[in-house]
Amino acid sequence: MPIPVKRADLDLSWPLKMLDTDPVLLERYLVEFLRDEVVRRRKMSKAVVGLSGGVDSAVTTYLAAKAFGPENVHVIRMPYKISSSASLDHAQLAIDDLGLPAQTIEITGMVDGYVQQADPEMSGHRIGNICARCRMTILYDQGAKLGAIPLGTGNKTERYFGYYTWHGDDAPPINPLGDLFKTQVWELARHLGVPAEIVDKAPTADLVAGQTDEGDFGISYHKADQILVMHTSGYPDAKIASFGFTESEIAIVKKRVAGTHWKRKLSTVAMISDTAINEFYLRPVDY
């Protein structure tokens, strides 16, 4: 089922209205999606979420609490030594608001143990990838302990931009936000009642003091989403530019999308038969 969207008037601003959603209908759909994937298909009743203090993980948590009941959504905060204390505080706002079972697992020892043995001069980018993969290891292990399935929190803008760690924060088997652009996640967050401190702050990977997603991109999420929705719908650059976007802004978006296709699929398998999994051998549900 496609994202529930509002019907826009057929006027010149139609492409920009493609991002409009009906948050009430969207909430109902995503809650039922989680119940269908977790309870009906996988015969499970609990979920585990890495709660970072950001809006994406908060929205996934609020949806899961509605789908399974707060007592069945276990959230884990996993700070690294340079993580902002505000991230922990903001995560706590969601924990307190929903009444969730929660724990904090410090990952500094895991990460630095490897860094010191492998490469003490390791770059911040590499350390960030290690943090993401350590966190996902913890989520899967805690899921095994609790009988809970890990839920993803990555949004569609991040996925198109390749702004995540491959087999790190994109690894959970179920992701309710993967077809929502960042601006749509913000709208849904406000509808769900996610605390304003979480919704209104600048998105950040929280790896370096002062770092923000939009600073890394060189473009705001609001502009990026509008360009993305037109670019992925087949609009030529000239048409996109007619809505007030510069050539450099369009180029930023297109370059990120074009350069990260490989991250949006599983490992590439060499096919030697006509029963290659996910290439030829598909069950009806896989189509």
What structural domains does the chain harbor? 14-202 (3.40.50.620)
pLDDT surpassing 50 at residue 24:
yes
pLDDT surpassing 60 at residue 50:
yes
pLDDT higher for 266 or 251?
251
Tens digit of each residue's pLDDT (9 = 90 or more) over 130-174: 999 999 999 999 999 999 999 999 999 999 999 999 999 989 999
Q: Is 172 exposed, middle or buried (0-12, 13-18, 19+ CB in 10 A)?
A: buried
Q: What is the pTM of this model?
A: 0.91
pLDDT surpassing 60 at residue 178:
yes
**Residues above pLDDT 70, as percent of the chain:** 91
Residue 197, token pair as written in the block: 């401190």
**Interior CA angle at 179 toward 178 and 184, to 5°?**
105
Q: Is 92 exposed, middle or buried (0-12, 13-18, 19+ CB in 10 A)?
A: middle
**Residues above pLDDT 90, as percent of the chain:** 79
- What's the CA gap between 42 and 252, in Å, rounded? 40
pLDDT surpassing 90 at residue 266:
no
Least-confidence region, from 88-102, 221-235, 260-274: 260-274
Backbone dihedral angles phi then psi of residue 103, each to the nearest 5 degrees: -150, 160
In this structure, which amino acid lies at residue 282?
L
pLDDT surpassing 50 at residue 9:
no
Strands laid side by side in the 47-50 sheet: 102-104, 73-77, 47-50, 149-150
Q: Does residue 19 contact residue 183 with C-beta atoms inside 8 Å?
A: yes
- What's the CA gap between 271 and 164, in Å, rounded? 28
pLDDT surpassing 90 at residue 13:
no
Q: Does residue 249 contact residue 223 with C-beta atoms inside 8 Å?
A: yes
Residue 171, token pair as written in the block: 């690894």
- What's the CA gap between 215 and 213, in Å, rounded? 5
pLDDT reported for residue 205: 79
**Helix (H/G/I), strand (E/B), else coil: 149:** strand
Residue 119: half-sphere exposure toward Cβ, Cα within 13 Å: 7
pLDDT reported for residue 6: 47
Residue 158, token pair as written in the block: 């991040």
pLDDT reported for residue 7: 40
Tens digit of each residue's pLDDT (9 = 90 or more) over 66-100: 999 999 999 999 999 999 999 999 999 999 999 99
- Beta carbons within 8 Å of 228's beta carbon, 6+ residues apart: 156, 157, 160, 181, 253, 257
